[in-house]
Amino acid sequence: MSLIILLFAVGLILLAAEVVVPGGILGGIAALMMLGGCAIAYSRFGSTGGALALVTALVLIGITLFLEFYILPKTRIGRRAFLDSEISATSAALGPEAQQLIGAQAEAITLLSPSGYIRVNGKRYEGFSQSGQISPGATLQVVGADNFRLIVTPIPTPE
């Protein structure tokens, strides 16, 4: 009997930990432990004991899920753990406007190593350096474009 209780308890703990560690692995292990507890109950106590263990497991899983998804998000810790906002932006290819930017002068906003952000005509774009690392503030020239970024090369400063 204590092995069944232990399997159920560890299964519930793993199911509760699934909220913190997403991916389904802990939940899958928890389900296997609960199923193992039910199988042991069927073998030791017959169909009545097994059915009772199965109903108990389902009720405990239901209570755990209720606590995780309805009670926990309303607590102070839960408000910090659960996301409640969404990103409504989409990523899109540069399209035909990128071809018009080839040859334009740009400025490195961030370190390009080899990717980073650049400013062209006051707009921010993702840039890719063919010349290795480029420091922020460097003057660049747009030499090409692919689907999502502009390809740049540094303009040598006169000495």
Residue 159 confidence class, pLDDT cut points 50, 70, 90: low
**Which overall architecture, per CATH, does domain 97-154 show?**
Beta Barrel (2.40)
Going by C-alpha positions, the residue among 67, 40, 66 that lies closest to residue 53 is: 40
Lowest-confidence segment of 59-68, 78-87, 149-158 by average pLDDT: 78-87
43 compared with 87, residue with greater pLDDT:
43
pLDDT mean across residues, the chain? 85
- Taking each helix axis from N to C end, the angle separating 25-66 and 2-17, rounded to the nearest 10 degrees, works out to 90
**pTM more than 0.85:** no
Residue 114 confidence class, pLDDT cut points 50, 70, 90: confident
> What's the number of CA atoms in the CB half-sphere (13 Å) around residue 72?
16
d(CA 26, CA 13): 9
d(CA 129, CA 30): 48
Burial of residue 110 (CB within 10 Å: 0-12, 13-18, 19+) is: middle
d(CA 120, CA 108): 9
Q: What are the residue ranges spanned by the domains of the chain?
A: 2-81, 97-154
Residues 29-54, mean pLDDT to the nearest whole number: 92
Residues in the chain: 159
Q: Given this model, what pLDDT does residue 90 score?
A: 57
